[in-house]
Amino acid sequence: MKARKTLALICYTVCSAACIAAGLVSYMAFASRITYTFGFLLFVPIWIGAFWFLSFFNALSREKKGKKVKYVVKKSLTKGLSMLANVLSVLLLCFWVYAYIFKIMPAGGTADKNSDPLKNAAASISITETI
């Protein structure tokens, strides 16, 4: 029973560290230290890892025997920690939905729609060859 409780708290600690890392990546993208696209690519696996470890924590912190549920970690602590991690995860996900819609997507639409990138590349190659 004690090993299960210890493992549950280790899983929650890893989940918390992953949420903090995801928040740090989000802040770095917001502060323009990294691009939003690179930040999003870093955020997704970290966020998925946090979700997995939160799931492990929830599975390890309670034990089912038939219809009875016995909490290895105190019930209020389990629900409070789980709610805290879920709220933080949802807030980070909302930030990235906002960033994707307003910061990442418009970058692709700023190019001139009439210009053909292959023509521009061919023109620049022919100019450099003649010099």
DSSP per-residue string spanning 38-63: HHHHHHHHHHHHHHHHHHHHHHHSEE
In this prediction, residue 127 has a pLDDT band, given cuts at 50, 70 and 90, of low
Confidence check: pLDDT of 40 > 70: yes
What are the angstrom distances between the C-alpha of 97 and each of 43, 105, 110? 12, 11, 20
Residue range 68-118, pLDDT digits in tens: 888 888 888 888 988 999 999 999 999 988 888 887 777 555 555 555 555
In this prediction, residue 60 has a pLDDT band, given cuts at 50, 70 and 90, of confident
Quote the pLDDT of residue 5. Answer: 87
Ranges of each domain in the chain: 2-130
Closest CA to 9 of 58, 51, 49: 58
Computed over every residue of the chain, the mean pLDDT equals 82
Q: What is the pTM of this model?
A: 0.71
